[in-house]
Structures are given as C-alpha cells and as structure tokens.
Structure 1
Amino acid sequence: MEKENETKAEQVVNPWEVSAKGTGKIDYDKLIDQFGCQSLDKSFVDRVFRLTSRTPHMFLRRNVFFAHRDFNEILDAYERGEKFYLYTGRGPSSEALHLGHLVPFMFTKYLQEAFKVPLVIQLTDDEKCMWKNLTVEESKRLARENAKDIIACGFDISRTFIFSDFDYVGGAFYENMVKVAKCVTYNKVVGIFGFTGEDHIGKISFPPVQAVPSFPSSFPHLFSGKDKLRCLIPCAIDQIIVKKHHGDQ
C-alpha cells in the first residue's frame, strides 16, 4: 500500500493539474492502469481503417491518442450498422484556443468525417466562472469567442450542435443531472476530484453537468427516441477520469 501511494504521488493527473516529480515526464502506462483504460494498439488503427475506408488520423497512427475505454464496443456496434455520436467540449478561460486546445477538436473532426456521425460540443462557461473567479458575463463572452475558433475547425454544420451551459442547461438535460447527482456520494466526488472543505458548493455540484452530455436523452431535439445511442468522447488523459461512454442510464 505504501509503495502504491508513493507511485501515485510521483505524478498528478486530474482535470486541473498535470505534473510529475523528477524528470517531469508522465508515465502513460501507469495512467492506463490507474484509470482502467486499454491501449489503442495497431489492431484498433487497422480496424478503423477497415470500417471507414479512410486512412486513420496521424494522431492514431503516431499514438497521440493512446488509450481508450470501450472503444471496441463502439466499433462492434458500428460494424453491426448501429450509429453513435461524439461528445467533446471546451472550458472557455481565454479568448482564443492554442494548439494544445485544438488537438482534441482536430481529432474529433476526423472521427465525425470518418464515421459520419453527430457531434455535441459543450462550452462549460459555468465551470470557468466558478473555477477562475470570472463574472458570468465574462465567462459567456469567452465562450462566444472560443466558439468562433471551434467553428473554424470545419465541423459538419448539419451534424454539429454547440451549446453553452449557461444558455442550455434545463429540461431533459437538468433531469439527467439530477439522476446522476443522486448516484454519486459526497465521499466519492471528493475522492475523484480532491475537493476540500474550503471549496464552494458550486464546484462540488458541477460534475453532473459535464457527465450528462454522454446521455442522448439530454438532447431530445437531436436524439428523440434514441436513448440507447452510444457516445464516444475524444478527450485528454486529464479528463478520462470523469468521462466514459454510457450504453444506457
């Protein structure tokens, strides 16, 4: 147990901090094991090529996207003729996206084109308002600015829905938030995110907001009657601890 705690202390990877002692290099193999993922090996790359008849994205070929949860189930369903949808997002804390911010969007664009599937993009302006001590008005302004950069990536406008939490949360989306919130204890959310007694209650109550876009019933105007539709979430390793695809509720 002591050795395990030392290993975890050597590197910190969560939605707000990525750091490692010593050389500063992240041990990705340890992360795969710690977060319960599987490697995206060559067999997956070859299978994507076979199913889409498109050359796999260089981020796949060069192992930039290196791990997954249940991607095999997505591909199994797709091979049976079942569709899925994509979900990714952006926390708007600056006026423009830099190259690092663009990496998941570039890969998501490839997935949308290769599999010809819908995409929802969440702008968590409410999150940045709470974490960055921004005003509501400034958070919403940054979300609009970031949306311009995301749109410029060239997503299929007929298959893409971009939404701001401040503008969209309510109705079926909020109903799913309540369902998720009832399933997660305070101790569990503290264990996952490391909240302390000094954190305000807005932070503690936020995780369901970011979880429920992975449920198609959160978007009745897009997926009415398709509550079993699978969701694939391209994201960075610091987000995989809280995001995975859900087959049902």
Structure 2
Amino acid sequence: MNNFVRNTHKLNKHYIGRLYSQVVTPFEVKAEQGSCVNYDKLIEQFGSDPISEEQIRRLEAITGKKPHHLLRRGVFFSQRNFSDILDAHEKRNSKVPPFYLYTGRGPSSQSMHIGHLIPFIFTKWLQDTFDVPLVIQMTDDEKFLWKDLDQKTLRTMTVENIKDVIAVGFDPKKTFIFNNFDYMGHMYRTVSRIQKSITTSQVMGCLGLTNSSNIGKIAFTASQAAPCFPSSFPHIFRDEKLNSKIKCLIPCAIDQDPFFRITRDISNKLGFQKPCLIHSKFFPSLQGNNSKMSASDGMSSIFLTDTDKQVQSKINKSMSGGGATLEEHEKFGANLHADIPYQYMRFFMEDNDELERIGREYSSGRMRTMEVKKIAVELLLDIIKGHKQRREQITQQTIDDFMNTSQDKWK
C-alpha cells in the first residue's frame, strides 16, 4: 500500500467513510441498497492495515492458542500496530502487564442485541489468551449528548447493559467496568490533558460535527480517548513511572476508529504509548448487509431478551440470498454474501467444517433457504438461552465487584 493511499484520510477534511457510495461514521453505517460495506475501501480511506496471515500465525506461535474463529474468518480484519502487542507479550515479565484491553458499549436500549456480543466475545478470548487487565467503558454520557434520552432512563439502561456484558464471562479479578457519569472524577485529569491537546476543528472535521452541534459532543472525544491511557485508572496502574510504557489494545468495530485516530495523534505528546487497535466488520441488519444491526431499530435487530418465537419470526423474515423461485435457486444457488442467516452463522458458528458444508450446499442450490434459516434459528436460540441463564445469576453484588475502584482487587 503506497503512502498516498495510507494518507488519504489526512487529505480529506471529513475522513469518516463518506466515499465509495457508503457512509461509515461512529454514528451511522450505510451502503447503497443492494450493496455491502466495502471493507477494503475503508482500510484505504482510514489508513489502517489489514490483519496479515503472518500476524495470525505469530499470535498462535507465541500464545500456544488456536486463533479465534472471528479472526480466522476475517471478521476482525483490520489493525493498527497489532504487531506491537505481540512484541509486548513476547517481552513480558511477571511484574508488569505488557498491555491492557479497552472496549466499551454505549447503552441506548434496555437490552443489547446479538451483534453487540461480537466485540465482547472476542475481547474475552483476548483476555483469556494474553492474561491481561481489561477496562470496559459504558458511555452513558455519549448517548445523553446524541440521543433524546434523559439521565434517569440512561442509568437504568446502563445497569441492564452491564449485566449483559458481565454475562459474556469476563474474569472478575482482571476486569473493571465503569460508566462515564459516575467515574469521570477519577479520570478527569487525563481527560483535561486530552482536551487541551485537541482542537475544535480537529474534532469537528473527524466526526462531521457542525457549529450547531452542542459542545458536549466535541468534549466527548476526550472522554472516549482517556481510557487509552493508564493514568485514567490509578487503582489499577499505581506506578505512574510505568504509565509511559504500558500499551493499550482496543478491539472495536471499525466505525469507532475516528475517535482513536485523533487519540493516536496526541499520545506521544502526552507521554503515552499510541493505542493499538483491532477492528471488526459490522454485524449486519436483518434487512441486509448494507447497514449494521442497531439497538435503536427493533426491526433490524435480534435482542438478547427476545423470545424463541420472536427470534424465529425475525430470522424467517430476514434478507435471503436464495433464488426467487425454487427453479432459479437450484440452477444458480444462493448468494452467501447477501444471505443474512448464513452471515450470522459466520459470526457465531464455531465448527468450521460444518459452516463450510452449509456454504457449499447452499451456494450450489442443493440446500434450500428455509433449511439454512432453521439452522440459524437453532444456533441463535442456543446462544441467547445460554446468555439468559448466565445473566440470571448476576446480582447487584456482582455488578459492584466489577465496578469496584479499590486497589485491593488489583494487588
């Protein structure tokens, strides 16, 4: 990839994905009807790098763990300085974690949808594989600033979403969950340093804000950036002398990259390591691959609280890649890229041989659409059932333990 392509985002004032007939921002994802998001073009425009086969092989070699299926199948497909994380793991010592993980969730509904599980499932695998601390940010302030939601409603949504996050199965001894409204005082010194280092025009240009945007939206960029730096968590990283050496890895969907691109630009100036990122593709809407599943649109989403009947109904009505008629389907087969039930299998089905078998049979026309939808329903129902069972075991004490700021937990 040449330097011109790598620096495309620097030449475009609004480098947030509005090229190639698609819109990809932290707040909107949409391609033309009938088309899919072009991830190769996003890599070019955002200036990131594809995850290489060499990096995947190296990860397996230094950890002794088989790479997660989301990585092997290219669901996580893009990265910034991921090799630095592998370097840090190889050089680690027992006293200092080589890096920590940072991911998050913006609560905008009472329940997360199944697509929200993807970054958390992968983050859990990273935590288990590398044995490192994890911080999870609940951006309740972001949803207050961008959506018509009052703070009381957001508090309820935040608690419910925290339960969904905990139910993924993170290590409570190495995971810290916090919401911005309540934790801001702990990281405000770091936030204010970031605010002082970023200009209004940088934020407006990167996020597509205008002069009529409320000032909270501009300031929020620093709130999202602060967890990239260990100084935001003095109860975890108590030796300030080491803060300049500890790296941060952020697993996230690629639409969140603009926030961290700004952060990387100022990291060295503030005396910190540049955050490293690993980006996932979007979990598609029920209506098609041209947009992502959204918690704000009940018709596009399968929620973790949906009943068996609701899940079955939504999958049966979802976008199909099969032929319009049986004759056409048997002749031409299914378009796997357009078929939403099959795409959901790519995200959740761990058995690679079975996924490939279904893909071969369906794309050849030998397997019919309703057969594929039935398999997808069974797969999703099993995932949702397990999640509900784990969630029911979560008490207020469980939540308090994950959100505890005591240093004793991190000895």
Q: Could you tell me the TM-score, scaled by structure 1's length?
A: 0.93
One of 32, 39, 47 as aligned partner of 2:50: 39
SS of corresponding position for 1:87:
strand
The whole-number CA distance in structure 2 between the counterparts of 1:208 and 1:68 is 22
Q: Deviations over 1:69-106 (max 9, x none)?
A: 00011111111126110000000001111111110000
Q: Give 1:191 shift.
A: 0.5
Q: Which residue matches 1:147?
A: 162
Q: Does structure 2 retain, via aligned residues, the 8 Å contact 1:140–1:166?
A: no
Deviates more, 1:104-113 or 1:30-39: 30-39
SS of corresponding position for 2:156:
helix
Q: Which residue matches 1:91?
A: 106
Q: Deviations over 1:9-29 (max 9, x none)?
A: 621111001112353311111
The whole-number CA distance in structure 1 between the counterparts of 2:147 and 2:18 is 30
Q: Which residue matches 1:174?
A: 188
SS of corresponding position for 1:130:
helix
Q: Does structure 1 retain, via aligned residues, the 8 Å contact 2:18–2:24?
A: no
The whole-number CA distance in structure 1 between the counterparts of 2:45 and 2:86 is 24
Q: Does 1:23 align with 2:40?
A: no
Q: Which residue matches 1:75?
A: 86
Q: Does structure 1 retain, via aligned residues, the 8 Å contact 2:111–2:164?
A: yes
- RMSD value, Cα: 2.0
Q: Which residue matches 2:152?
A: 137
User: Gaps (5+ residues) in structure 1?
Assistant: none
The whole-number CA distance in structure 2 between the counterparts of 1:177 and 1:224 is 18
Deviates more, 1:77-86 or 1:230-239: 77-86
Q: Give 1:7 shift.
A: 7.3
The whole-number CA distance in structure 2 between the counterparts of 1:167 and 1:185 is 26
Q: Which residue matches 1:217?
A: 231
Q: Which residue matches 1:10?
A: 21
Q: Which residue matches 1:162?
A: 177
Identical residues among aligned pairs (%): 48
Q: Does 1:59 align with 2:70?
A: yes
Q: Does structure 2 retain, via aligned residues, the 8 Å contact 1:84–1:229?
A: yes
SS of corresponding position for 1:199:
coil
Q: Does structure 2 retain, via aligned residues, the 8 Å contact 1:37–1:68?
A: yes
Aligned residue pairs, count: 246
SS of corresponding position for 1:156:
coil
The whole-number CA distance in structure 2 between the counterparts of 1:22 and 1:158 is 46
Q: Which residue matches 2:258?
A: 241
Q: Which residue identity lines up with residue 135 of structure 1 in the other structure? A: D
The structure that has the greater radius of gyration is 2
Q: Give 1:56 shift.
A: 0.6
Q: Which residue identity lines up with residue 202 of structure 2 in the other structure? A: K
The whole-number CA distance in structure 1 between the counterparts of 2:47 and 2:197 is 20
Q: Which residue matches 1:116?
A: 131
SS of corresponding position for 1:114:
helix
Q: Does 1:208 align with 2:194?
A: no
The whole-number CA distance in structure 2 between the counterparts of 1:116 and 1:230 is 14
Q: Does structure 2 retain, via aligned residues, the 8 Å contact 1:233–1:243?
A: no
Q: Does 1:125 align with 2:136?
A: no
User: Gaps (5+ residues) in structure 2?
Assistant: 1-7, 273-411
Q: Could you tell me the TM-score, scaled by structure 2's length?
A: 0.57
SS of corresponding position for 2:23:
strand
**Closer, same or farther: CA 153–22 of 1 in aligned 2, 3 Å:** closer
The whole-number CA distance in structure 1 between the counterparts of 2:207 and 2:35 is 22
Q: Which residue identity lines up with residue 260 of structure 2 in the other structure? A: K
Q: Does structure 1 retain, via aligned residues, the 8 Å contact 2:22–2:30?
A: yes
Q: Which residue matches 1:229?
A: 246
Q: Which residue identity lines up with residue 169 of structure 1 in the other structure? A: M
Q: Deviations over 1:114-171 (max 9, x none)?
A: 0000000000011111111211111111110000000000000000000011110014
The whole-number CA distance in structure 2 between the counterparts of 1:27 and 1:162 is 33
Q: Which residue identity lines up with residue 35 of structure 1 in the other structure? A: F
